């Protein structure tokens, strides 16, 4: 069964450093998403991406965050200057259609980001 | 703004018991509803997707129902097993906006005792 692949599985970074989280969505999917889950909290929406541009973004997704699809397979989330409160599990997801109609979203296994 | 609530927050049952997990949402104008399983420190595994026009979906020992008018969905697990121990999340699919399309509840942590 097709999977969404995320790397690395765990990243530790110093406060103020830049991090790039990587995702390979399912190959025939057109819509890509980043979500995050702070320990013990709900899974929260960050951003959706379609046709090489951001479709929607949440209030969390401020100027410190950016997304990119640098080639035909990768989808990245960059945090420019990490803060302690950015520590969370970051999930990438993809879907073949808008709103996941008939298929839902497929999530990756996540990248645990720890900012120290 | 859509709010998704799951009750109970935690549930412990003996092996073999049938159980029901509850999910409620405040905005009934959803597109679909998806149930996920999350093992500790792991990703989200999709279990069932119910379209807004459907009343229920079944997969093996799992059955999910949807009542849009009352803003409720349930996940029924038959003959529970220790391997079912995990956190179960429901997520309502909205029509976009700054909340995004998929809005999650906080989950029900299920523990099935041998």
Yes or no, beta carbons of A58 and B99 under 8 Å apart: yes
Q: What is the pLDDT of residue B92?
A: 92
Q: Does A101 touch chain B (CB under 8 A)?
A: yes
Cβ-proximal residues to A53 (8 Å cutoff; 6+ apart), any chain: none
Number of neighbours of residue B66 by Cβ within 10 angstroms: 25
* Minimal CA separation from A16 to chain B, in Å: 25
Task: Please check the confidence at residue A100 and state whether its pLDDT lies above 60.
Answer: no
Q: What span, in angstroms and rounded, lies between the C-alpha atoms of A42 and B30?
A: 19
- The dihedral built from the CA positions of residue A36, A49, B94 and B75, taken in this order, carries a sign that is negative
Cβ-proximal residues to B50 (8 Å cutoff; 6+ apart), any chain: B32, B33, B34, B56, B57, B64, B65, B66, B73
| B25 close to B92: Cβ distance less than 8 angstroms | yes
Residue with tokens 């790039």: A20
Phi, psi at B84, each rounded to 5°: -80, -10
Task: Please check the confidence at residue B97 and state whether its pLDDT lies above 80.
Answer: no
Residues in A closer than 8 angstroms to B42, CB to CB, are: 109-110
Q: Does B47 touch chain A (CB under 8 A)?
A: no
Residues in A closer than 8 angstroms to B5, CB to CB, are: none
Q: What span, in angstroms and rounded, lies between the C-alpha atoms of B66 and A57?
A: 28
Yes or no, beta carbons of A100 and B32 under 8 Å apart: yes
Name the average pLDDT for chain B.
Answer: 92
* Three-class SS state of B29: coil
Q: What is the pLDDT of residue A98?
A: 66
Two structure tokens written together for A49: 């991406």
Name the average pLDDT for chain A.
Answer: 92
Q: What digits encode the pLDDT tens for the residues A103-112?
A: 788 999 999 9
Residues in B closer than 8 angstroms to A100, CB to CB, are: 31-32, 34, 49, 93, 101-102
Q: What span, in angstroms and rounded, lies between the C-alpha atoms of B78 and A92?
A: 31
Phi, psi at A84, each rounded to 5°: -55, -40
Q: What digits encode the pLDDT tens for the residues B27-69?
A: 888 888 999 999 988 889 999 999 888 999 999 999 999 999 9
Residue B11's closest CA among B110, B82, B105? B110
Task: Please check the confidence at residue A20 and state whether its pLDDT lies above 70.
Answer: yes
Residue with tokens 């909340």: B99
Q: How much of chain B exceeds pLDDT 70, in percent? A: 96
């Amino acid at each position: 069964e097709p999977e969404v692949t995320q790397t690395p599985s765990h990243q530790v970074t110093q406060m103020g450093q830049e991090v790039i989280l990587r995702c390979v969505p399912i190959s025939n999917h057109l819509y890509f998403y980043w979500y995050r889950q702070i320990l013990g909290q709900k899974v929260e929406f960050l951003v959706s991406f379609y046709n090489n541009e951001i479709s929607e973004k949440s209030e969390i997704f401020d100027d410190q965050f950016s997304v990119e699809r640098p080639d035909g397979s990768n989808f990245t989330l960059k945090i420019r200057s990490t803060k302690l409160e950015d520590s969370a599990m970051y999930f990438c997801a993809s879907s073949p259609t808008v709103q996941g109609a008939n298929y839902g979203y497929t999530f990756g296994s996540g990248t645990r980001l720890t900012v120290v | 703004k859509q709010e998704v609530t799951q009750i109970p927050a935690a549930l412990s049952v003996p092996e073999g018991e049938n159980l029901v997990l509850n999910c409620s949402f405040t905005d009934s104008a959803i597109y679909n509803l998806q149930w996920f399983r999350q093992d500790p420190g792991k990703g989200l595994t999709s279990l069932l997707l119910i379209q807004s026009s459907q009343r229920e979906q079944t997969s093996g020992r799992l059955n999910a129902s949807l009542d849009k008018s009352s803003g409720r969905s349930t996940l029924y697990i038959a003959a529970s097993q220790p391997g079912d121990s995990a956190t179960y999340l429901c997520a309502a699919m909205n029509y976009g906006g700054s909340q995004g399309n998929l809005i999650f509840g906080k989950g029900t942590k299920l523990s099935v005792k041998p």
